[in-house]
Structure formats: structure tokens, C-alpha cells
Amino acid sequence: MTLKVLISDPLGQEGLDILDATPGVEAIVETGLKGEDLRKKLNEVDAVIIRSGTTLSADVLEGNTRLKAIGRAGIGVDNIDLDAATRLGIVVMNTPSGNAITTAEHAISLMMSAARHIPQACAKLRAGIWDRKMVGTELYGKTLGIIGLGNIGSLVVERAQGLGMNVVGFDPFVTEDRAQALGVELASVEEVIERADVLTLHVPLTDKTRHLIGAEQLRRMKPTAILVNAARGGIVDEAALADALEAGEIAAAALDVFEQEPPDPENPLLKSERCIFTPHLGASTREAQTKVAVDVVKQVCDFLLKGEIRNAVNAASVSADVLERLGPWLTLSQQLAALLGQLHDGAFERIRINFAGEISAQETRPLIARAVAAILRTGIEELVNEVNALEVAKQRGIHVEATRTAETRDYASSVTITIEGPERATSGTGTVFGQNEPRIVRINDFRMEPLAIHGALLFAVNRDVPGVIGRLGTLLGEAGVNIAQMSVGRTPEREGMALTVVALDGPASDETLAAMRDLDVICELRQVLL
């Protein structure tokens, strides 16, 4: 089946060329879609690639059962309802490095333009006024205050240091070691604001960062300070900024983004001589447009065709290298979890996953998501996949706990999954033989000979007496069901009992299962279909 990708915003031709050249993928270019038209079109495609012009709200996404991926050509995702996308199992990927250099350069350009009054001087000269009294501010030796030290923020730091500026910054996700490597002195938001000669913002727009810079923060700034926002509109309270500029609480502001785009012509900032601005041009260079277009198309195609996830903002990213390395373990996690989900009786309250041995040193988040999704699919009807599995579990009050154990007794690596309910727990351990042979080696307390986890499997808890296997085999033979493999397990905790697991070439009928349950040696019997 051909996979369809909607391009809903203008995209660089280089990206479109890659889509056209990718077998199994069809590009549909329809820009300017909104509301119901956009919602209907999204139900007809497997992925959508957007820029800042398309808004993917909860209303637009709700009820979609086909869309698998959203690709954002750029870094900002505030025009995507991430909660809705995650709930629906739609992976959201951006391109954080594609326009990072371009945006960092634009922030530096705004900073220097504001410091030297370049736009105002240009406008005056264009109007025939030769004004050499416009005295600017030298940036050398000044303090740059920066809030946000991610991809773009780090590049701004490098360039500011090249100008001879000292840098003080705030980012709750940056360690002291990382800050030292960047040459940044970490401080609180309040201290950064108070010490900055130039304050530049490089954070996403979230509930926590909306109006991060308001009237109170502006009053804390130096009267000679410059405020730069080349990140997202809404981080700065524009009404408060207009008042602060009018009152001389800060010297100048330079904006590339606005709360409303395009801004209202009556926005007082547009009339302020102390404020310079550009119409959201931070990512607008030929080089950046090409790079984000190519990056987002490759990411979307790799996800649709290979399952590779890069730069996901609502799921664990899985590169091609990691995918290849974890492939057998992803299969094991899914099969073992699906098996246990079918064996477990009653409600799910807690899911415990332990990675032991060599696998414990690997990236395990994709394995956790795969296992939780497989378990939930055995008990609920709504769509569950690796993207929304943890969120669905959280919404239903199911606690997920993952642990790592460096040492393991029997195998180089193993995965143990336990499902706990109010009345009982169901547990199993699996490992990978060779290069790609997932095997189950334990169910609850019963250790067993390694058994492949696929197809139809019978799990029988029986009295440990002679003839059990023969009696089960007779009933299966009479029903025309062939036995592919068999494993028997014992446990000291249940003396006189055994676990018999039979792999079948095809599922046994309800009548055959009932006949086996009627045997006096069978205490419990369950068929699992994988």
C-alpha cells in the first residue's frame, strides 16, 4: 500500500524531490488548509509535514485513526497539540538542528542592530536625514544574559563569546559540567535578568514560559539593557514591554516574533522608536530552508518505512543504529508482554519491567514503550502504540516501573515483565538466543526450557505425574492439531506441580480446550495467540 504524506505548508523543493523519489510514498501538496478541510484531509494520509503556518489543534486531530506521524520543518511545536497527538498515538518529530545556526545568527544580528541603532539610522538616511548623533553601545566586555541553553542558545553563546561578551545563563536542564564546557555562568532567572546588558530568550512557548518576561521582570532589568526575542511570540508580555520602553525602564528591544502574527497594526511596539523587529525571519535563509526540508522528509519517510524515530518530541527517539541493535529485544518485549497480558486474570494495577545483564546498559525506553503497549492492547479497545502507551497507562492509573540489573545468573541478558493486579501477579522472563531468536525461559515460578514466542501456545499447570504429555497429545492429535514444540517447567515453590507449554501449528478449538481442561491432571489451562 502506498503511504501518503500531506505537505500543508510551503516546503523546500529539495525535500519534495526526495519524497517524489522514495518508493512507496506519495506526496500530496495542499497548503492553506484549515478547520474541517484540514481535519478531513488528515484522515486520508499517513503523515503530515508542516511549518509554522498550519495549526494542528485537538479538534483537528481528534478521531483520526490513520495519521501516524507529524513532521515539523523547524524546531517550534507550539502549533501542535502534543497531548492530543500523543493520546492518539501520533509521533511528532521536529528538526532542531536544521535552522539552529540561522536562528542563532539572526538573534546576534538583532542584538547588534539594536545596540547600534542600525534600522533607525537606515530609515533616517533613506528619508534624507544625515544624523551622526545616533550613539550606540559597544558589546565587547558586556554581559549577555541568556535564558535557554539548548541547540540555538548554545550557538548564540559561542557567537557572543566571539564578540568578547561574558555570558550568564539559566536553563534547568543544563548541568554545571555542561555550562562550564560552554563557558556559561549558571544563575537564577532573576539574577540573569538583573545582570544582563543584553537579555536573549531561547525557550519554547509553554504554559510555564508564557509571559516569562513581564512587567516585574522588565523592572528588574538595567535601564541600559536590550531585550532580544528570536524564539517564540508570547514569551514576552508585549503590553508590558511597550510600557517599559515608553517609561525608559530598558533601553531597547529587538523582536523577530509576536504574540499575534502578523501583529495588529495598532500594536504600540510597532510605533516605538526603541523597538526594532523582523517578521519571523529567524529561520529564513536558503540554507536553513533546504536543510529543514530535507531533514523532515527523511525523518518522516524513515519512520513510515522503517520504524526509525529521530527527533521525536513525544516519544523515545530510535535511530537506525539503535533499531538494528535492539531489534530482537523489541520483538521479545512485545511478544513476552502480549503473552503475559493474555495469561493475566483481572485488572492491571502495575507493570514492572526489569532489564538484566548486557541489555541493561542499552537504551531501554523503546523496549518499555513496546512492552506496555502490547500489554494494554490485550485489555482495552482504544488505539495503543509505543507513542501513547505510557500516557494511556497513566490515565488509567496503571503504574509503570522499570529497573536495571547489571548482573544476571543464567543468561547474558534477559527481560522480566510482571503484571500486578489486586488479586494476583503474572510474571515471565525472556531472552534472545543467537542474533535474533527471542525465547521465553520462565513463567511465574516455573523455569522452563527456552521456547519460541509466536503462534498458538498452550499453558497448562498440571500435576507432576506420568502421562500428562501423552494425554494432551492424544486430544490434540484427535483434533488434527499438530504439536510444533513442547517445554516442561518445575518449581520448588509448588512441589508436585509442573507447567507444560505446548507450541501448536494452529490454534486449538474451544471443544479441544474444554476436553483438555476436563482431564483430572490439569489444574489450569490457557491458550495464548500471538
Q: Which residues are catalytic?
A: 232, 261, 280
On whether the CB atoms of residues 189 and 216 are closer than 8 A, the answer is no
C-alpha pair distances (Å), 80 with each of 54, 133, 177, 294: 9, 47, 33, 21
* Coil, helix or strand at residue 491: coil
Would you tell me the crossing angle of helices 286-306 and 320-343 to the nearest 10 degrees?
40
CA pair distance 298, 321, nearest whole angstrom: 15
On whether the CB atoms of residues 85 and 67 are closer than 8 A, the answer is no
* Of 339, 474, 424, 388, nearest in space to 82 by CA: 388
* Of 309, 292, 369, nearest in space to 334 by CA: 369
Q: Cβ neighbours of residue 103 under 8 Å, at least 6 residues apart?
A: 75, 152, 230, 282, 283, 288
Q: Cβ neighbours of residue 264 under 8 Å, at least 6 residues apart?
A: none
Neighbours of 33 (CB within 10 A): 19
Cell of 409: 545468573
Using left for φ > 0, alpha for ψ between -120 and 50, and beta otherwise, residue 396 falls in alpha
Which string of DSSP letters, residue by residue, matches 35-63? HHHHHHHHTT-SEEEE-SS--B-HHHHTT
CA pair distance 386, 370, nearest whole angstrom: 5
CA pair distance 298, 130, nearest whole angstrom: 51
Helix (H) / strand (E) element for 151: namely helix 151-162
On whether the CB atoms of residues 12 and 290 are closer than 8 A, the answer is yes
